[in-house]
Amino acid sequence: MENQVTSHIVKGAILGAISIAFSIIVYVFNLYEMSFINYISSGLVLAGLIYGGILYANQNNNNVTFGNVFAHGFKTTAVLIVISSIYTVLAFKVLFPDMLEKVLEISRKKMMENPKMTDDMIEQAMSMTKKYFIPFALGGSIIGTGILGAIGSVIGAAVAKKNPNPFENTPTI
């Protein structure tokens, strides 16, 4: 009987759901200012992509190449990018409109800590940040997830067990 291979769409949707749930937890518990939170989120995505690559190889009886596993991982990343981009826009515009104000307030505090920043410079920077926040957040989400996905896909493809000759399906005696 042929092994059922889990689709990259399913894996991307699961990773997207995990990322969204994590983001909601950060919002609900107001954990924006804790810098290690981003590392945890990135670690979850990396671990999911690595595990997805290993699972893909195992479901194909390890008759895969590095390129097959990498491509599967990056397709999973593409699905994750679409889901996280949609969520980013919805979160800031519809679901949590006050999130933008919270993020801007944190940015203002960090700018005020810098002695080289005058009040006028801070106000100008805050005005620009508020005006272009959604496009920058969306761009950052796409680029950041893409880079993280490429790294996770490479690691997943590297650690996944592969048969020496994927075209030969006879057992070694």
- Residue 151 CA to residue 12 CA, distance in Å, equals 15
Q: Which of 20, 19, 9 is nearest to 56 (CA)?
A: 9
Block residue for tokens 């479901």: 59
Question: What distances in angstroms separate CA 130 from CA 88, 127, 136, 146, one per listed residue?
Answer: 15, 5, 10, 25
Instruction: Determine the pLDDT at residue 121.
Output: 83
- Residue 9 CA to residue 72 CA, distance in Å, equals 10
Block residue for tokens 């599967």: 72
DSSP SS3 for 41: helix
Better-scored residue on pLDDT, 12 or 102: 12
Tens digit of each residue's pLDDT (9 = 90 or more) over 72-124:
999 999 999 999 999 999 988 888 888 888 888 888 888 888 888 888 888 88
- Residue 11 CA to residue 78 CA, distance in Å, equals 11
Across 30-40, average pLDDT: 82
